[in-house]
Amino acid sequence: MIRLIAIFWLVASAAFAVQPDEVLDDPVLEQRARDLSQGLRCPVCRNESIDESNAELSRELRILLRERLVDGDSDDQAVDFLVARYGEFVLLRPDTSGVNVVLWYAAPVMLLIALGIGWSVIRRPAAAPDDLSEAEKAELQKILRS
Amino acid sequence: MLNELAHFALILAFGVAIVQMIIPLIGAQRGNVGWMSLAEPAATIQFLLTGFAFAALTWAFVVSDFSLQLVYLNSHTDKPLIYKISGVWGNHEGSMLLWVLILALFGACAGWFGGNLPMRLRARVLAVQGSISVAFLAFLIFTSNPFTRLEFPPLNGRDLNPLLQDPGLAFHPPFLYLGYVGLSMAFSFAVAALIEGRVDAAWGRWVRPWTLGAWMFLTVGIALGSWWAYYELGWGGFWFWDPVENASLMPWLLATALLHSAIVVEKREALKSWTILLAILAFGFSLLGAFIVRSGVLISVHAFAVDPERGMLLLIILGIFLGGSLTLFAFRASAMQSKGVFSTVSRESGLVLNNILLAVSCFVVFIGTMWPLVAEMLFDRTLSVGPPFFDAAFTPFMVGLAIALPLGSMLAWKRGTLERMSKAMAGWLMLAVALAALAYAVQSGGSALGPVGVALGVWVVGGALADLWLRAGRDDLRTKLRRIRNLPRADWGKATAHIGMGVTVFGVAAMLAWQKEDIRIAEIGDRWDMGAFQVQLDAVDQIQGANYVTTMADMSIWRGDRELYTLQPEKRFYPVANMPTTEAAISNGIIRDVYVVIGDPQANGGWAVRTYDKPFANWIWGGCILMALGGLLSLSDRRLRVGAAAAKPVRTGAVPAE
């Protein structure tokens, strides 16, 4: 069930993902193309990279990407070329510009906060030594009586 | 007639669920025994009624009753019987009926096996469970009626999506739903405890088997789905970070956390309010998953408008249950006083770390899944969050978890010593590092993924074994082995599940790091190298299947001059659904899978062929099976079977106290 809808897109065309006639002769260049295309989204598919997508457009983008690499583009230049035409939508790994900072840093910040809370919870009982200060004793009595 | 009766049974079940929701709750408040004891028969009747409706729908699929719209849209007379049955839940309406049935089943089970619960708590648990049933029965009856008739029954149906006609996927939804819905029990227990205003060790013990059961099913369900994707989608990927996949991973992560924190509640009466919160959130994420999958909101913001009624209603259900329970939590959480005091170095601290890592990793998945929606709605940016993000943001948490797991699981409760642990783990640490270095040397440089996976796998598995070994105490070997054999099943379950985690971590890393791929055009008779093997394309034939036509290739796998075996990858075409599927042929092995796919014929002769070498692929799902098995072992422990009311069994073997 869970992947049902994904499937409809996937088999919309019977073709393969990367097809033999697309593969570049230079293995280093081809590997670069594969690595890059795994990070680029097929614009007409559901959550698929152009590397694994069967759609015709993905095939065109794969060929386009390889053409740019053969022409001597750097990785960034080749990706920017596609982003300029299809928008940041094609980036499967969003950049850290603007509000995307939240996406990238929310979890690490959350981890620090959680560790802080966890630490304070663990330390709390140990931080109560045998002899309390007068103020603490009064506070304690107040809590116990309530 | 039968279908109308079934439809009526659903409406009756709706009524019964309303009674189950209200009467016992009031009874529990007023101390009225009669009202409280209404809960159990109501739960049973609700289960029988939904069970009848489900059986009737299944029957309609089996006999291909095309007067039902649902059967017409999702079945065909030529389909094998098993896929007629799995067709029941291979669609929206049927799967919601299955959801409701499982919901009622869990409620009824709580009634049948909850004899040792205090009456008040049981009545409240069943009432809360009833309220969830009310919500989903309403959703089913008012927006997704599976029993809609067609005025003029067609002669034949439109067939189930061919990709669902597969054993792996046929049983993927039921397991997943048993997991999702199973978490509703933890939720009901949590809300009942909040109403009650008390959580104690006994509560922890009652809630654990339900969580454990749900977690087990969820584990199996996710593993089945991932295994299916591996062999069916034709390039051997096993996890895609798709929103619907994430929807099942998030509850799993929280259920895993809940499982562990409930242990602390049971054994040490600490982390109470956190455990309650986890129980609420775990089921909340199940509901969120249902909303994501059913509303299609994450496929595109605009898909939501296609069927706004269903999506809206699910959102309302999610809002009511999550909002209501969290409000209740805010008022009552302060009443949950923790008793257990523990030091920084202790099992409790280890489990706190486990919970932090799991909860934050769940948060990573959550924010990554929802971000495209947030960015588009609030910031007008259309962007994608895909596998590269999750790989980068999620993996560190799993690495941290794997590193901490053996250390935390070996510490003593309350106050542990690092010394005892470091003695036991020093050897394993050296072995892990040595094997990682070996792996790095063998792969001659390259990415660190493989070696790190090896090290973590050895570390986690070794930790589980060392833990068992430590439990045996100090004595001669025979006595130690006997003690290990006599350890409670819960301990065996823990070790098995942790070993499974290590195996999966290793499998994922090893496969991703060391897989090889070959794409080429092959003529009949061509032979080429693939890793340590050679592959030869022998023949390609057209064959007529049960309800499809297929292009089947014979590909033989060779090592030197010796032919090992023949694989038969297929490309099927289902004429009724007008859909092609790829059926990869896989030779499953412990060390590696050889994975071959046949593609299209080429214009100037030959066939497109892909071959893969997938090392240690089966370890991924093997580990998941071990995890689920560990859950099962723990579930069968005498402590949980006998229940909290009974005294702890007296052990004669001198098992050191934890």
pLDDT digits (tens, 9 = 90+) for A91-101: 989 988 888 89
Q: Rounded to whole angstroms, how far apart are CA atoms B87 and B162?
A: 11
**Structural domain includes residue B636:** yes
**How far separated are the first and last CA of chain A, in Å rounded?**
54
Note the pLDDT tens digit of each residue in B539-584. Answer: 999 998 878 899 999 999 998 889 999 999 998 888 887 888 888 8
The domain that holds B268 is classified in CATH as: 1.20.120
Q: What is the structure's pLDDT at A125?
A: 55
CATH topology of domain A4-90: Helicase, Ruva Protein; domain 3 (1.10.8)
Asked whether the beta carbons of residue B163 and residue A20 sit closer than 8 angstroms, the reply is no
Q: Rounded to whole angstroms, how far apart are CA atoms A101 and A103?
A: 5
Contacts of B119 (CB under 8 A, 6+ apart): B33, B36, B37
Whole-number average pLDDT of chain B: 87
Contacts of B330 (CB under 8 A, 6+ apart): none
Q: What is the structure's pLDDT at B365?
A: 95
Same domain as B245, residue B312: yes
Nearest Cα of chain A lies from the Cα of B434 at a distance, in angstroms, of 30
**Structural domain includes residue B337:** no
Asked whether the beta carbons of residue A2 and residue B89 sit closer than 8 angstroms, the reply is no
A59 touches chain B (CB under 8 A): no
Q: B479-504 burial, b if ≥16 CB within 10 A, otherwise e?
A: ebeebbeebbbbbbbbbbbbbbbbbb
Closest C-alpha among B296, B340, B290 to residue B183 = B290
Q: What is the structure's pLDDT at A8?
A: 40
A46 touches chain B (CB under 8 A): yes
Asked whether the beta carbons of residue A107 and residue B240 sit closer than 8 angstroms, the reply is no
Contact B49, B15 (CB under 8 A): no
- For residue B636, the 8-state DSSP code is T
Note the pLDDT tens digit of each residue in B58-100. Answer: 999 999 989 999 899 888 888 888 888 988 988 888 989 999 9
Inform me whether the pLDDT recorded for B144 exceeds 70: yes
Contact B83, B160 (CB under 8 A): yes
Pairwise pLDDT comparison (B111 vs B643), residue with the higher score: B111
Same domain as B566, residue B452: no
Write the secondary structure of B538-564 as one string of H (helix), E (strand) and C (coil).
EEEEEEECCCCEEEEEEEEEEECCEEE
Asked whether the beta carbons of residue A114 and residue B571 sit closer than 8 angstroms, the reply is no
Same domain as B269, residue B244: yes
Note the pLDDT tens digit of each residue in B186-198. Answer: 999 999 999 988 8
Q: Rounded to whole angstroms, how far apart are CA atoms B351 and B658?
A: 15
Domain final residue pick, B373, B393, B413: B393
Whole-number average pLDDT of chain A: 79
**Structural domain includes residue B39:** yes
Same domain as B491, residue B629: yes
Note the pLDDT tens digit of each residue in B461-490. Answer: 999 998 888 888 777 888 888 888 888 888
B231: pLDDT confidence band, cut at 50, 70 and 90? confident
Alpha helices in chain A (DSSP H): 4-10, 27-37, 56-70, 75-86, 100-126, 134-145
Q: What percent of chain B has pLDDT over 90?
A: 45
B125: pLDDT confidence band, cut at 50, 70 and 90? very high
Give helix then strand counts, H and E, for chain A: 6, 0
Per-residue tokens: B334 = 């302060």
Inform me whether the pLDDT recorded for B402 exceeds 50: yes
Asked whether the beta carbons of residue A125 and residue B608 sit closer than 8 angstroms, the reply is no
Asked whether the beta carbons of residue A103 and residue B240 sit closer than 8 angstroms, the reply is no
Total number of domains constituting chain B: 4
Same domain as B418, residue B354: no
**How far separated are the first and last CA of chain B, in Å rounded?**
61
- For residue B596, the 8-state DSSP code is E
Contact B606, B586 (CB under 8 A): no
Q: Which of A93, A103, A106 sits opposite B388 (nearest CB)?
A: A93
Q: Which pairing describes strands B533-544 and B549-559: parallel, antiparallel, or unpaired?
A: antiparallel
Nearest Cα of chain B lies from the Cα of A56 at a distance, in angstroms, of 14
Q: Rounded to whole angstroms, how far apart are CA atoms B395 and B388?
A: 11
* Least trusted range by pLDDT, from A53-62, B96-105, B210-219, B647-656: B647-656
A135 touches chain B (CB under 8 A): no
The residue range of the domain holding B565 is: 516-617
**Structural domain includes residue B464:** yes
Same domain as B258, residue B304: yes
Chain A to chain B Cβ contacts (< 8 Å): 157
Inform me whether the pLDDT recorded for B173 exceeds 50: yes
Nearest Cα of chain B lies from the Cα of A93 at a distance, in angstroms, of 5
Closest C-alpha among B570, B578, B568 to residue B547 = B578
Tell me the sheet residues that pair with B518: B611
Q: What is the structure's pLDDT at B278?
A: 93
Inform me whether the pLDDT recorded for B327 exceeds 60: yes
Q: CA-CA distances (angstroms) from residue B18 to B21, B90, B136, B366? A: 5, 28, 12, 33
* Least trusted range by pLDDT, from A89-98, B18-27, B342-351, B492-501: B342-351
ipTM greater than cut 0.95: no
Same domain as B296, residue B360: yes
Per-residue tokens: B559 = 């090592």
Note the pLDDT tens digit of each residue in B514-529. Answer: 888 888 888 898 899 8
Q: What is the structure's pLDDT at B641?
A: 57
Q: What is the structure's pLDDT at B401?
A: 94
Q: What is the structure's pLDDT at B222?
A: 94
**Structural domain includes residue B28:** yes
Q: What is the structure's pLDDT at A146?
A: 64
Same domain as B458, residue B378: no
Mean pLDDT over residues B141-164, rounded?
84
Q: Rounded to whole angstroms, how far apart are CA atoms B61 and B478?
A: 58
Q: Residue B221's closest chain A neighbor by CA?
A: A2
Q: Rounded to whole angstroms, how far apart are CA atoms B264 and B259?
A: 9
Q: What is the structure's pLDDT at B656?
A: 44
Q: Residue B348's closest chain A neighbor by CA?
A: A122
Output helix, strand, coil percentages for chain B, rounded to the nearest 5: 65, 10, 25
Asked whether the beta carbons of residue B600 and residue A110 sit closer than 8 angstroms, the reply is no
Same domain as B305, residue B178: yes
Note the pLDDT tens digit of each residue in B247-276. Answer: 999 999 999 999 999 988 888 888 888 899
Inform me whether the pLDDT recorded for A132 exceeds 70: no
Contact B135, B210 (CB under 8 A): no
Write the secondary structure of B512-539 as one string of H (helix), E (strand) and C (coil).
HHHCEEEEEEECCCCEEEECCEEEEEEE
**Structural domain includes residue B111:** yes
Closest C-alpha among A87, A75, A1 to residue A32 = A75
Q: What is the structure's pLDDT at B640?
A: 62
Same domain as B572, residue B589: yes
Note the pLDDT tens digit of each residue in B426-462. Answer: 889 999 999 999 988 888 767 888 999 999 999 999 9
Per-residue tokens: B609 = 């062929």
Give B368's contacts in chain A (Cβ within 8 Å): 103
Closest C-alpha among B556, B553, B558 to residue B584 = B553
Q: What is the structure's pLDDT at A115?
A: 92
Same domain as B116, residue B11: yes
- Helix B119-143 / helix B39-62 crossing angle, nearest 10 deg: 30
Return the residue matching tokens 């090896």.
B454
Q: Which of B228, B371, B580 sits opposite A103 (nearest CB)?
A: B371
Same domain as B560, residue B528: yes
Domain extents in chain A:
4-90, 100-145
Mutate to test the interface with B, among A3, A30, A38 (most CBs of B within 10 A): A3
Give A143's contacts in chain B (Cβ within 8 Å): none
Asked whether the beta carbons of residue A11 and residue B579 sit closer than 8 angstroms, the reply is yes
Q: What percent of chain B has pLDDT over 70?
A: 95
**Structural domain includes residue B649:** no
